[in-house]
Chains A and B, each alone.
Chain A
Amino acid sequence: RKEVEQDPGPFNVPEGATVAFNCTYSNSASQSFFWYRQDCRKEPKLLMSVYSSGNEDGRFTAQLNRASQYISLLIRDSKLSDSATYLCVVNNAGNMLTFGGGTRLMVKP
């Protein structure tokens, strides 16, 4: 079993739709959590951290459920520019991050 699991997608949604991605992690001792975004043929970039109380950044909302070892990302009012791969990331120890395989999102006009 992979340490961080995501549905690879693709998720095909129309502009303006709300879409949610989920991620599960296997290490109950994981300490911090992130969502990264990766555009085609580019490097991953930090989208947002995920806090236990849940957090929001504009159209993006991240949630963490430690009991279920589950992380989510909600995107409201999808834009064409949101099309990318979204990587769920977990920090288990020290400064080492473990990346999920990513979920691909395609927003269509």
Chain B
Amino acid sequence: DAGVIQSPRHEVTEMGQEVTLRCKPISGHNSLFWYRQTMMRGLELLIYFNNNVPIDDSGMPEDRFSAKMPNASFSTLKIQPSEPRDSAVYFCASSRVPGYTFGSGTRLTVV
């Protein structure tokens, strides 16, 4: 089992650029979550998919953030345009109840 795979591991981009983060969940897991982690705010849930359908996106900070899950094996989180305050580690996690398995995260730096 390869676990939850995220790419890229690190991303440095300039303010105003579009950023796309990718996630491949564990096969057979029907729930997928995007979290953001910062020192100040800890782990925050951004959006949650169940069977590829977005269930709760109340944590998405603003319209600059969007997430898709076109099929059971792939999800993207897009930020457009990016801002320095978006700098954080973004984790994807997948689950088949109970408990989550996290990917290694994408460390995003917006300069």
- The residues of B that contact A70 with a CB separation of less than 8 Å are none
Cβ < 8 Å to A, chain B residues 59-111: 91, 95, 97-105
Q: Are B42 and A100 touching (Cβ within 8 A)?
A: yes
B15 at the interface (CB under 8 A from A): no
B56 at the interface (CB under 8 A from A): yes
Q: Are A96 and B43 touching (Cβ within 8 A)?
A: no
Rounded to whole angstroms, the CA-CA distance of A87 and B100 in the bound complex is 13
Rounded to whole angstroms, the CA-CA distance of A45 and B103 in the bound complex is 10
Asked if A43 meets B50 with Cβ closer than 8 Å, knowing A95-B31, A95-B95, the reply is no
B48 at the interface (CB under 8 A from A): yes
Rounded to whole angstroms, the CA-CA distance of A33 and B48 in the bound complex is 19
B55 at the interface (CB under 8 A from A): yes
Q: Are A96 and B103 touching (Cβ within 8 A)?
A: no
Among A91, A95, A96, A101, max chain B CB count under 10 A is at: A95
Chain B residue at minimal CB-CB distance from A97: B100
B45 at the interface (CB under 8 A from A): yes
Q: How far is the CB of A12 from chain B (nearest CB, A)?
A: 19
Rounded to whole angstroms, the CA-CA distance of A49 and B35 in the bound complex is 21
Cβ < 8 Å to A, chain B residues 25-47: 31, 33, 35, 42-43, 45
Q: Are B98 and A49 touching (Cβ within 8 A)?
A: yes
Rounded to whole angstroms, the CA-CA distance of A97 and B42 in the bound complex is 13
Q: Are A42 and B43 touching (Cβ within 8 A)?
A: no
Q: Are B55 and A44 touching (Cβ within 8 A)?
A: no
- The residues of B that contact A94 with a CB separation of less than 8 Å are 50, 55
A46 at the interface (CB under 8 A from B): yes
- The residues of A that contact B100 with a CB separation of less than 8 Å are 44, 46, 97
A32 at the interface (CB under 8 A from B): yes
Q: Are B45 and A98 touching (Cβ within 8 A)?
A: yes
Q: Are A49 and B99 touching (Cβ within 8 A)?
A: yes
**A residues adjacent to B (C-beta < 8 A):** 32, 34, 42-46, 49, 87, 91, 94-102
**Among all A-B residue pairs, the 10 with the closest Cβ atoms:** A43-B102, A99-B43, A101-B42, A95-B31, A46-B99, A95-B97, A44-B102, A43-B105, A43-B104, A95-B95
